[in-house]
Amino acid sequence: MPTVRNVRRLIAQRFLRAGLASPGLDARLLAEGSLGVDNPDPDTILPATALLLLDGFAARRLAGEPVWRILGEREFWGLPFRLSPATLEPRPDSETLVEAALAQLAGRREEALSLLDLGTGTGCLLIALLSELPQASGLGIDLSAEACETAAMNAALNGVGDRAAFRQGDWAQGLAGRFDLIVSNPPYIPSAEIATLSVEVREHDPRLALDGGDDGLAPYRLFASCLPRLVAPGGSIVIEIGAGQGPEVTALMRGGGLEFRGSRNDLGGHERALIFAPA
């Protein structure tokens, strides 16, 4: 009989022969997804419906679709986030921004803070922060209406829907007022490099969320011009960067009149989050 243990082993072998990077993990996650149960008993017999679903999952993975896209959800900051074709997957490296932002707000975590998330996607940054800041409220902006709908759904799913608003918009265009914290994970991959990315990224992540222009710095130039007027006195800006972009992004933001307050590395030791404040 097809038990979880046997099916996982067979699928992992298929994935290994196909050259996938993490065949055992992928097989486990997809098997759990087909059953709708985390950590099932390995001797559980898979019903026919789960086997059929898992076979479809495996075919999609072999075609290059990422596991989390297949499952439709990924965890971030210990919270579940639904995905859509218009959003990036929340990735562990971006949790570095949440850590950096919370460190900047030490001593203010019970205040009625105002947060802004530019390019919100799934809403993961804003929602994770609101989960840690019980009196705060926030606004997420995204050029994609579908992404805004997904983010609003995730805010409700994670119990912060009454403190989060999402709006379709072109970065900070039309925004007024000031925010105690501004966060962003903008597109930062140079346009010409997108074709060289893995199939999981180039064919399944939205190009709108990847393409940072000719040199990957287009969003940061815009931030340098618009964020100084949007950050409140005593506030902070925390933005994600790509590999090696720290010096150039820091120079751009300083040129806009912001003060560099430091950076944080991700779990791989790469500089990931840059922190700025009003000069």
CA gap 2, 132 in Å, rounded: 43
Looking at domain 86-278, its CATH architecture is 3-Layer(aba) Sandwich (3.40)
Q: How far is CA 31 from CA 5, 13, 70, in A?
A: 9, 14, 12
Confidence (pTM)? 0.95
Q: Report domain extents, the chain.
A: 4-71, 86-278
User: Phi, psi (5° rounding) for residue 156?
Assistant: -65, -40
DSSP 130-144: HHH-TT-EEEEEES-
- What is the predicted pLDDT for the residue at 1? 72
| Below-50 pLDDT ranges, the chain | none
Q: For the structural domain made of 4-71, what CATH number should be given?
A: 1.10.8.10
- What is the predicted pLDDT for the residue at 124? 98
For the stretch 76-99, pLDDT in tens is 999 999 999 999 999 999 999 999
